[in-house]
Amino acid sequence: MSWLLAPHTFWLGTHHPDWLSRAGVPLFVSRNRLTARRTFPRAVAPWALDSGGFTEISKYGYFRTSAKLYALEVKRFSDHIGSLAWVAPQDWMCEPVMLQKTGLTVEEHQRRTITNYLELRSLAPDIPWIPVLQGWTPHDYFHHAEDYERAGVPLATLPLVGVGSVCRRQSTITAGRIFAFLKSGYGLRLHGFGVKTTGLRMFGDALASADSLAWSYAARREPPLLGHSHKNCANCIDYAMMWRDGLPDKWIGG
């Protein structure tokens, strides 16, 4: 079965691309962790790629890498690592702090997100890009979905659609409303970026896919596992896998 079409798939976030060759579970890796490497691990399980957009926008207010260069990088990653299930475009987050950084509006961030997705799809049609919906209010997301349709992207026919700018408010009723309406109102198979266990409990039924690095943040606040010599387990595959095993069965049995 294609991992894009699995009923529920959890992509374990990692700072360490070398895990691709040994974790044996679906992983979520940032482009920022791969771009400077000269050699690559060979993946033993499906993995997904993030563009590193949060870091780019929050630090610089724009993407320093062009769509053309990003497409070339992704092709290189895919060829060398293998088993690439899907790739996020260079989408523009819409949290208020991001808008303050760029000086742009929600509508402009949405427009740039669609433009980038279309450009990447044209540059590298063999790469499994997924579109991403961005916004802040529920209306923003609904409007963005309609903009995709007007741009010739029938979202309901695609195997997966990402939803961004929700990870820092997933314990709110608003986040749940956004996911529920996008699934029921538009018939979309949704990926929630940065959805932690709280989000999975609250609105996991509306998601087909989710990723998180929450295990690493939790590990920083705890002593290392018994027998581990490092200061904490924030970069520890054993801790990450143990954390993953605590997720609801439907998220780790695919």
**Domain at 198, CATH number:** 3.20.20.70
Position 67 in a domain: yes
Q: What is the distance between the alpha carbons of residues 222 and 44, in angstroms, rounded to a whole number?
A: 30
pLDDT beyond 80 at 171? no
- Residue 40 or residue 173, greater confidence: 40
Q: Across all residues in the chain, what is the average pLDDT?
A: 94
Q: What's the whole-number mean pLDDT along residues 91-106?
A: 97
pLDDT beyond 90 at 61? yes
What angle do the packed helices 138-150 and 173-186 form, to 10 degrees?
30
Contact between 62 and 47 under an 8 Å Cβ cutoff? The reply is no
Position 65 in a domain: yes
Position 77 in a domain: yes
Position 197 in a domain: yes
**For residue 1, what pLDDT is reported?**
41
Position 17 in a domain: yes
**For residue 7, what pLDDT is reported?**
83
Contact between 107 and 25 under an 8 Å Cβ cutoff? The reply is no
- Residue 72 or residue 198, greater confidence: 72
In terms of C-beta density within 10 A (0-12 exposed, 13-18 middle, 19 or more buried), how is residue 219 classed?
A: buried
Position 149 in a domain: yes
Position 76 in a domain: yes
- Domain count for the chain, please give it: 1
Q: What is the distance between the alpha carbons of residues 123 and 212, in angstroms, rounded to a whole number?
A: 29
**For residue 170, what pLDDT is reported?**
64
- Domain that residue 96 falls in: 9-212
**For residue 3, what pLDDT is reported?**
63
Q: What's the whole-number mean pLDDT along residues 106-122?
A: 98
Contacts 24+ apart (CB under 8 A), 182-185: 182/133, 182/141, 182/142, 182/145, 182/206, 183/207, 185/142
Position 239 in a domain: no
